[in-house]
């Protein structure tokens, strides 16, 4: 800003100087033309009319030899004498004798005016610089105030205190940033909540079989007359319980590896092409188990920038669940269509349905006849949250199965 101000001030001062110089020279040229036209014998006339010319035209006029050695065309020069500034104009009068009509005008007032203009411009620049500095100071304070507000709020946050920002306390320009921070805080709260549920669920799921193993072993020790067959049965039951615990631990490890997919960089791909590929893969698995997978995918193409591993985890878990609960000879249907700024993916099975009102996306929540550890849908929910998508489960209206709906926002995952 200061550089621009100085640049334009220089241009303005130069423009004023050029205009003043041009005006003074034009005035002397007009006066010379007037003298050449009015008097036939200009040299004699100037001797007689010198005083009149000085009073009326404010100039000194004389015919004299040019001070330069070489004869030149019309030209001008400034001289300073006795504290006054004069502009001299030389007009060719007698080429043979190299004599000029020399007009001299006192331009001291004009020069003073130019100096006053220069001082005024400098003063205005100084004042403007001061105003700019004050403006920058108050603007920086105004901009730093909400930044300090954000900084203080974020410094006070920890895993136990995660409160959203009060957007009414910050300027309108910073509210989009505040909303983004609140969304991030909500995601962190959700993430921590799920982690706590995972830890509590893990402890609960492992504590029960450990208690069973301990009880069986204590009973076997109390009963002194145990037959080898009975002891073998106890050992086999304990091994089966340990296998169940291993499955739980394996599911937790798988979930941990899947969590790393959230740090995968987004890539540009065709979502519909990915859906077609997954539909073809699971069609083979469905046929191998005596079931069918049918798909109807629209639109024809849908390029997007997304983390493919997260989307694959969601599709695999939802389709595997649909195939697991669909009886032999049944059909699982996969649909996709665009709705506004979202891609909607639906997976419909022919299973027994779900128990509505139960949060099946919580860790270790599963139906009574589910063989898994109950982390598949928990993984689906975590992946959907990472994509800022929505996933829901509901029973079909005809009561013949379940519909899983996955809504992916295209605006946040556009290519």
At 12-25, the pLDDT tens digits run: 888 888 888 888 88
**130-168: pLDDT as tens digits:** 888 888 888 777 777 777 777 777 777 776 677 787 777
Residue 174 tokens, joined = 């910073």
**The architecture CATH gives domain 159-262:** Orthogonal Bundle (1.10)
pLDDT at 108: 87
Residue 71 tokens, joined = 């004869």
What span, in angstroms and rounded, lies between the C-alpha atoms of 223 and 234?
12
Residue 323 tokens, joined = 């195939």
The pTM of this model reads 0.51
Inter-residue contact 284 to 324 (CB < 8 Å):
no
Ordered by start, the domain boundaries in the chain are 2-113, 159-262, 264-409
Q: Residues 6 or more apart from 392 whose CB is under 8 A from it?
A: 404, 405
Q: How confident is the model at residue 262 (pLDDT cuts 50, 70, 90)?
A: low
Nearest C-alpha neighbor of 335 from the set 348, 324, 326: 348
* pLDDT: which is higher, 100 or 162: 100
Q: List the end-to-end C-alpha distance of the chain, in Å, as a whole number.
A: 38
What span, in angstroms and rounded, lies between the C-alpha atoms of 76 and 64?
15
Rounded mean pLDDT of 304-326?
89
129 exposure class (CB count in 10 Å sphere: 0-12, 13-18, 19+): middle
Pairing state between β 331-339 and 342-348: antiparallel
Nearest C-alpha neighbor of 88 from the set 69, 104, 106: 104
Domain range 264-409, CATH class: alpha beta
Residue 321 tokens, joined = 């669940």
Rounded mean pLDDT of 390-406?
90
Residues 292, 408, 411, 267: what is their CA dihedral angle, to the nearest 10 degrees?
A: -70
Average pLDDT, the chain: 81
**330-343: pLDDT as tens digits:** 999 999 999 999 99
């Amino acid at each position: 800003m200061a550089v621009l101000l100085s640049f334009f001030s220089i241009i303005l001062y130069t423009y004023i100087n050029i205009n003043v110089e041009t005006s003074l020279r034009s005035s002397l040229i007009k006066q010379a033309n007037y003298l050449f036209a009015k008097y036939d014998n200009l040299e004699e006339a100037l001797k007689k009319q010198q005083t009149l010319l000085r009073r009326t035209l404010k100039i000194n006029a004389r015919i004299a030899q040019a001070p330069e050695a070489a004869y030149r065309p019309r030209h001008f020069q400034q001289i300073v004498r006795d504290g006054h500034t004069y502009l001299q104009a030389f007009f060719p009068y007698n080429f043979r004798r190299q004599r000029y009509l020399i007009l001299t005008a006192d331009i001291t007032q004009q020069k003073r005016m130019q100096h006053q203009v220069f001082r005024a411009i400098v003063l205005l620049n100084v004042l403007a610089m001061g105003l700019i500095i004050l403006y920058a100071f108050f603007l920086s304070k105004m901009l730093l105030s909400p930044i300090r507000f954000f900084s203080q709020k974020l410094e006070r946050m920890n895993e136990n205190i995660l409160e959203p920002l009060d957007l009414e306390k910050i300027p309108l320009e910073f509210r989009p940033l505040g909303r983004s921070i609140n969304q991030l805080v909500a995601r962190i709260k959700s993430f921590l909540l799920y982690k706590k549920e995972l830890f509590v669920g893990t402890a609960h799921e492992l504590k029960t079989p450990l208690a069973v193993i301990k009880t069986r072993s204590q009973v076997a020790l109390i009963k002194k007359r145990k037959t080898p067959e009975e002891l073998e049965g106890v050992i086999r039951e304990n091994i089966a319980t340990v296998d169940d615990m291993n499955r739980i631990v394996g599911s937790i490890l798988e979930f941990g590896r899947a969590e790393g997919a959230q740090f995968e960089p987004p890539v540009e791909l065709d979502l519909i092409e990915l859906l077609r590929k997954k539909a073809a893969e699971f069609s083979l698995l469905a046929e191998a188990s005596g079931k069918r997978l049918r798909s109807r995918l629209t639109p024809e193409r849908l390029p997007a920038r997304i983390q493919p591993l997260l989307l694959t985890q969601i599709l695999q878990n939802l389709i595997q669940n649909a195939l697991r609960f669909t009886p032999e000879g049944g059909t699982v249907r996969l649909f996709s269509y665009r709705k506004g700024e979202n891609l909607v993916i639906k997976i419909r099975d022919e299973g027994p349905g779900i128990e509505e009102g139960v949060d099946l996306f919580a860790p270790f929540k599963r139906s009574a006849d589910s063989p898994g550890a109950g982390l598949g849908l928990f993984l689906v929910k975590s992946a959907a949250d990472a994509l800022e998508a929505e996933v829901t489960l509901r029973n079909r209206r005809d009561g013949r199965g379940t519909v899983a709906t996955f809504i992916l926002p295209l605006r946040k995952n556009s290519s």
